A and B are shown apart, each in its own frame.
Chain A
């Protein structure tokens, strides 16, 4: 059985506690990277990170492991387009060029 966690600034994430997701209010990049690693070993399958914090984390590790899943969600500061940019990067990596979003 796995759990879900949310990491980010407190204002963006405190609501998630109500629906049964574990929240960890951290804004420091180093501390959050450490926390993510600890959570990965601690039985968490999905770790949502606010976009503001995700941008501060170092470039995504290219780990081929299936779990945990670390992915950005918009925070209280608004949508920075980071999540879409991430998907776009996958397309670019797979296809060799940006074919899906060139018309947007």
Chain B
């Protein structure tokens, strides 16, 4: 591994050790966050899939009804029938916080409380197919709004999970091993320094003793 230039000092060692502790703790926390996010995501995706299937089926059925209405009515008459809508939807957006991911929650409000207000036309001049079509579409609406919530939630959670996963992996496979390596390098260097100091001291002590007592000279004299 490419070793970064680090000073083999005691201060650096303490600093690195503290940093490693934080990194390990952060890694554990992020891992937990990722796991919990994943669990929630899978639940949400399942719900999302069901909603999407139901919405798609219902919207398509409604569109089919509209096609029927179009076939039995003059296009100009149909346009006039839907020209001025009798109903208006207003959404109130709330935020649900799932593991620090903000997911929208809507409450639906209708301007016109009369359920018949979706029929914005006179019944005399329009075909019955149109009524069917409008009704089927309005029934699909609540699911469509729920789908929007779920799908946005899935999207945001997927992004968050990806981000968290990258962080976990960076910590696990790059930062933490690198720090461990550095700590090992520094402690080895420090040990080495200590040993060399010890040896130097022993040597110096020998030299000093030699100068003071002249052991070698005496030894040589004894031999002669």
Q: Which residues from chain A sit less than 8 Å from chain B, CB to CB?
A: 1-4, 11-12, 14-21, 45-46, 48, 62, 64, 66-67, 69, 71, 73-76, 78-79, 83-84, 86-87, 90-91, 93-96, 100
B-chain residues with CB within 8 Å of residue A17 when the two chains form the complex: 82, 85
The number of chain B residues with a CB under 8 A from chain A is 63
B-chain residues with CB within 8 Å of residue A73 when the two chains form the complex: 55-56, 59, 144
Query: Which secondary structure dominates chain B's binding surface?
Result: helix
B-chain residues with CB within 8 Å of residue A18 when the two chains form the complex: 82, 85-87, 118-120, 134, 137-138
B148: contacting residue among A11, A15, A46, A78, CB under 8 A: A46
B90 touches A90 (CB 8 A): no
A-chain residues with CB within 8 Å of residue B70 when the two chains form the complex: 11
A19 touches B137 (CB 8 A): yes
B-chain residues with CB within 8 Å of residue A69 when the two chains form the complex: 104, 148-149, 151-152
Can you list 14 A-B contacts (CB < 8 A)? A1-B92, A4-B145, A14-B79, A15-B137, A18-B118, A18-B119, A48-B144, A71-B152, A83-B52, A84-B52, A87-B52, A95-B38, A95-B161, A100-B46
Q: Which residues from chain B sit less than 8 Å from chain A, CB to CB?
A: 38, 41-42, 45-46, 48-49, 52-53, 55-56, 59-60, 62-63, 66-67, 70, 78-79, 82, 85-93, 95, 102-104, 106, 109-112, 118-120, 133-134, 137-138, 141, 144-145, 147-149, 151-152, 154-159, 161-162, 165
18 further A-B contacts with Cβ under 8 Å, apart from A19-B134, A71-B151, A100-B45, are: A2-B90, A2-B93, A17-B85, A18-B82, A19-B118, A20-B110, A21-B141, A46-B106, A62-B159, A66-B95, A66-B152, A75-B63, A84-B49, A87-B48, A87-B52, A90-B157, A94-B161, A95-B38
A3 touches B90 (CB 8 A): yes
Query: Which secondary structure dominates chain A's binding surface?
Result: mixed
